[in-house]
Chain A
């Protein structure tokens, strides 16, 4: 078997899907399960080319239900297992992922959002926010990182495995078709060389007997009574609330004296950043806020920002799926709300600049 997949630090120029495959290798993922869907296919393509060299495995399943459930099986066996999907595949995957929520199975899923509803486009959108954060029948006990560039795609894919296994909640890296297919530079590295400790895995089932004694485990997602379920959910909520401050991440600048704060996430935040910088250079009081974790949401900080400004301008490639999370987070604030929603379509800096100038 070859040694570490990544030696030292390396500046590379590649597509986002290739980045994810490298990151999964760097995170020492053991097995990927997957089903073809655009725009995530090349994650599987790169994984199946590289993985065997490092003793890793792959299974192509019959659909995303199966890709999701086999991933859960792999995790239950104590392996770092992951899958990737998009659009209608994400819809199917909500079933296994609700099981992951109920059973606290640390699965890792990469989502490359495409247009919706239905088959729509295979290209791009930010329309899988609601589904990825709160999909399935459940309460959204999940962790969702929304990345904006290839460096983050690499960093957060590695982080997703650690977060999942540390906190035992299903964890998602929410990318999109643009990030999947575009090429740009980033630095790839071995996380342990950088001092990032990789969280150890352990089997839920199929454990070796200890001192010759096997202690069988029985795990389930079905409960007999309402009270029994309530107790479990209450405990999960306590856990989730307790760890939220450790998990939430956001970025902001120029919010202190801003009259308008532009709120965006994922790839759209690239455009927002450029726009806010340009507007500031023009002497306009505009700020930038970007939630990196969409679930849990950096609610307290955004609430404070909302209270200190006049208007939040929410920009996203959907009809307000992020905006719902924002409004929930700032409930009670009297800040004005403006929107620039382009469902299934990219947003450029120029559009945001024009929008803001029209508001001032």
Chain B
């Protein structure tokens, strides 16, 4: 990976896009790669769309924000509208298929548009609390910035203390990563 991969993750507050970005950034850093993560913050974060800007590469990262992303992942109606600006013909735009009536809003200029049923899978198949981990799986599959093993290690580091008390939780999280990766694979 010579080029810096630029990722924008956007969702509603509580969907956990910031923690996903942070875990991926830390995982990449652990592997000795250069990572830069910056949230949108400020007045907008209260009740607004939460956007995480993430860049991962082998060399020092330039400016913290960027104009166009390699991957945009939008998890709500408002997030789709908010992140269209980061899309060009090289961008892979990933959105959640459970967002109603969003088709019209999708950025037509994107290189690829992938719809994934992450919200549905988290509700009906796994557990709503691992929704963001499914997203994390989807991001790493779509970008290749960290491997599944590295992602697992990063989650272990972050939530290991919880897993000690409840080993099922570890299983659930790891399954969520795999499932997220699968969703992107199928959509491609």
Contacts and interface: CB of A to CB of B under 8 A. Distances in A.
Give yes or no for direct A-B contact (beta carbon below 8 Å). Answer: yes
Interface string A252-273: 0000000000000001101101
A177 B67 CA distance: 18
Contact of A348 (B25, B38, B63): B63
A328 interface: no
B26 interface: yes
Contacts of B39: 181
Interface string A86-129: 00000000000000000000000000000000000111000000
B43 A122 contact: yes
A121 B44 CA distance: 10
Interface in B59-99: 60-68
A348 B4 CA distance: 14
A13 B62 contact: no
B63 A182 contact: no
Q: Of B25, B29, B42, B63, which is in contact with the most chain A CB atoms at under 10 Å from its CB?
A: B63
A63 interface: no
A122 B62 contact: no
Contacts of A273: 62
Contacts of A267: 63-64
Given A122-B41, A182-B37, A268 B26 contact: no
B28 to A, nearest CB: 9
Contacts of B62: 270-271, 273-274, 348-349
A182 B36 contact: yes
A349 to B, nearest CB: 5
A178 B61 contact: no
Q: Of B38, B40, B43, B68, which is in contact with the most chain A CB atoms at under 10 Å from its CB?
A: B38
Contacts of B41: 38-39, 122-123, 177, 181
Interface in A166-194: 177-178, 181-185
B2 to A, nearest CB: 13
B182 interface: no
B38 A274 contact: no
Interface string A207-219: 0000000000000
Interface in B116-157: none
Contacts of A346: 63-65
8 contacts: A182-B37, A182-B64, A183-B22, A183-B35, A185-B35, A271-B62, A348-B65, A349-B63
Interface of A: 13, 38-39, 121-123, 149, 177-178, 181-185, 267-268, 270-271, 273-274, 346-351
Interface of B: 22, 25-26, 29, 34-43, 60-68
Given A38-B42, A182-B37, A185-B29, 7 more contacts: A13-B35, A39-B42, A267-B64, A270-B63, A274-B63, A346-B64, A350-B68
